[in-house]
Amino acid sequence: APGVYQLASLLVELDTSDEASQILCADALYQIGRVEEAHKVLLLALSKNPQRSPILARLALLQLKKGFMYDGNQLLKKVIRIGDTSCLLPIMDIFKDEDRKLMQTHCHFRALTILK
């Protein structure tokens, strides 16, 4: 992850508008435990395109990880409203096991609440 972060940072410096590089940079920061920096990179990417599900889903995880359930829920709802949930499964491979379980448990609990 540190090498990926260095490469992604270089790519972002070369083209600050490249969303894929920003997401790669955020994922690498997340993997090396620099969650706050990952959050900032994602917010910057989101400011350029507020309707991008891959960015919103990653931000949702970071909000849930911080304990901000309401914010995480709002971001997940936005992903669903956009209709592009195909990003969720690949993102789950990036999440650490504990965060993957957090997201799955949270989504399962919310689904049960909605069904009730």
Mind listing the domains of the chain with CATH numbers?
1-115 (1.25.40.10)
The predicted model scores a pTM of: 0.83
Which residues have C-beta within 8 Å of that of residue 103, sequence separation ≥ 6? Answer: 60, 61, 64, 92, 95
CA dist., res. 16 & res. 96, Å (int): 27
| Residue-level pLDDT at 9 | 84
pLDDT computed for residue 17 by the predictor:
83
Q: What is the pLDDT along the chain (116 residues), one digit of tens a residue?
A: 778 888 888 888 888 888 889 999 999 999 999 999 999 999 999 998 888 899 999 999 999 888 898 998 899 889 989 988 888 888 888 888 998 888 888 888 888 888 88
- Residue 86 CB coordination number (10 Å): 9
At 93 the pLDDT is 85
